[in-house]
Amino acid sequence: VSSYHHGDLRRAVLDAALDVIATDGPAALSLRDLARRAGVSHTAPAHHFGDKAGLLTAVAVEGSDLLGETLADGPLELRELGVRYVRFALAHPAHFAVMYRPDLLRPDDPALVAARARTSALLRGALTTDRRDGNAPPGADTTSDPHGDADLAATAAWSLAHGFATLWRAGALTPALAGRDPEEVFRSLAGVLPA
């Protein structure tokens, strides 16, 4: 193994970044520190990511794909999707912490736009299929439904799951629910949603 070329510096820097973000948040990131952790000179990371926003954009791309995988792999009623969303957020806290921070990354980056489009197309397709199978909320137009009941229900489910995961991670919920399994708690919580 040559010691001059790292082998997979890109991956190594990403992993170091995920580690730092999960522990101290995205604000604590420094390219020099990541280089140090990867055992490489401090200018090397710039070669792969340009700057900090580039690195965080790469994290968001990866997060979007991971989220897509997590959501796609299983049954697709709205409630179960929420459970999976919560699972993703707690299993990949660093990705989750970065994905919805347009101030920290480049929201218009082509790779990021593409990744988001992949996940959302996948999700839209799945939900449409599910509705056709008879799981539509009462009164929903199952063919095309812009801004209609089904879209509202999806937005509600997303908000519920996102809010729950965020509050849980912040420790805002735990006093009352300490020690319980977050997915299980969310599942009962999501009883408020239309099936």
Partner DNA sequence: TGTACATCAGTGAACGCGCGTTCACTGATGTAC
Q: Which residues bind DNA (CB under 7 A)?
A: 2-7, 9, 29-33, 35, 40-44, 46-48, 51-52
Q: For 170-186, b where at least 16 C-beta lie within 10 A, e where not — what string?
A: eeebeeeeeeeebeebb
Does 103 participate in binding a second copy (rule CB under 8 A)? yes
Q: In angstroms, what is the minimal distance from the CB of 112 to DNA?
A: 19
Select the binding partner of residue 190 from a second copy, DNA, none (C-beta < 5 to 8 A, by kind).
a second copy
Token readout for 59 is 């994290």
**Closest distance to DNA from the beta carbon of 148 (Å):** 45
CB nearer to DNA: pick between 52 and 92: 52
Beta carbons of 17 and 34 less than 8 angstroms apart: yes
Nearer to a second copy, 1 or 192 (CB): 192
- Where residue 39 falls (left for φ over 0; alpha for ψ -120 to 50; beta otherwise) is left
Tell me if 71 sits within 8 A of 158, measured CB to CB. Answer: no
Closest to DNA by CB, 12 or 66:
12
Q: Which 8-state DSSP code applies to residue 139?
A: T
Q: Contact with a second copy (CB under 8 A): which of 18, 104, 105, 123?
A: 104
Residue type, 82: G
What Å distances lie between residue 162 and 27, 107, 140, 155, 159, CA to CA? 21, 19, 24, 10, 5
Quick one: which segment of 34-42, 68-76, 121-129, 183-191 binds a second copy (CB under 8 A)?
A: 183-191
Judged by the rule CB under 8 A, the positions of this chain that interact with a second copy are 24-27, 100-104, 107, 146-147, 151-153, 155-156, 158-164, 166-167, 170-173, 176-177, 188-194
